[in-house]
Amino acid sequence: GFTKIARDMTQRQKAEEAVREAAVRLKAIVDTAVDGIITIDEQGNVESMNLAAERIFGFSRDEVIGLNISMLMPEPDRSEHGRSLINYLNTGQKGIIDTYREVVGLRKDGSPFPMELAVSETRLGVRRIFTGIVRDITATKTALEERTRLVAELGAERALLNSLLDNAPVGFGFFDQDLRFLRLNPALADMSGASARDLLGRTLPDAIPALSSGFSQ
C-alpha cells in the first residue's frame, strides 16, 4: 500500500518571503545611509561595509571585507585596537562599546581624518558582532577651526583699536543718531571732566557743550 502525507506550505512560504523582504529593506536602508556602517566579528575582521563607508575611507568593500578593522586606523590606535577588543571579550569592560566619541580614521591614500564613531554589540546565537557607525567630521572641524581663527583675529584687531583710541592724544567719540555716546576715549572724556563710563548714553550737547556748538552730524 501507499501512504500520502500532504502539508500546507502557505504559512512557511509567507514567513520566508517576509524574511527576504525584510533583508532587502534593511540592505536598502544601510546602503543609502549618510553615515558609514561597518560590522566586524569577534576577531575584529570586517564582515560588511556600506556605500557611505566606502566613500569615507576610499576603500571598496572587496578591499576591506575579511581584513582587520585596524587597517582603517592610524597609529597608535591600530596597535591598541586588538588589545582593547580582546580585553573586552575577556573582562566585559566595554571601552568604546556603547559609546559615541571622536576618533581618527585613516583613508586609503594614507591621510588621517577626524570622525565620530558609535559602536554597538549584537549577539547572533553564540556569535557576537560589533557595528560601528562612522561620520566624517572633516568639514565641521575645518569650519570650526576657521571660525576660531577669525574670532581670534577680530579679537586682536579690536584690542589694537581700543589701545589706539585709549592712548590717542586727541578726543575720539562714536555716537548714535541722537548724538548719544556709544564709545569715547579718555582724551575726549577729559574735556568734560567726567569719566568715559559716566558719559556713555549721554548726549554730546549735555556732556560737552563747548564741543557740540560746532558739531555737524
pLDDT tens, residue order, the chain (217 aa): 666 565 666 777 777 777 677 667 767 777 778 899 999 999 999 999 999 999 999 999 999 999 999 999 999 888 888 788 878 777 777 666 777 789 999 999 999 999 999 998 888 778 888 999 999 999 888 887 788 888 888 888 888 877 887 888 877 777 788 888 777 788 877 877 777 777 778 887 777 665 555 444 4
Q: How far apart are CA 157 and CA 38, in angstroms?
A: 47
- DSSP character for 58? S
Looking at residue 213, its pLDDT comes to 52
Backbone angles phi, psi at 41, to 5 degrees: -90, -170
Q: Which of 25, 113, 44 is nearest to 84 (CA)?
A: 44
Looking at residue 6, its pLDDT comes to 59
Cell of 17: 518571503
Q: How far apart are CA 200 and CA 58, in angstroms?
A: 59
CA 51 to chain centre: 20
Residue with cell 576610499: 58
- b (16+ CB within 10 A) / e for 89-121: eeeeeeebeeeeeeeebbeeeeeeebbebbbee
Q: How far apart are CA 207 and CA 209, in angstroms?
A: 6
Looking at residue 60, its pLDDT comes to 95
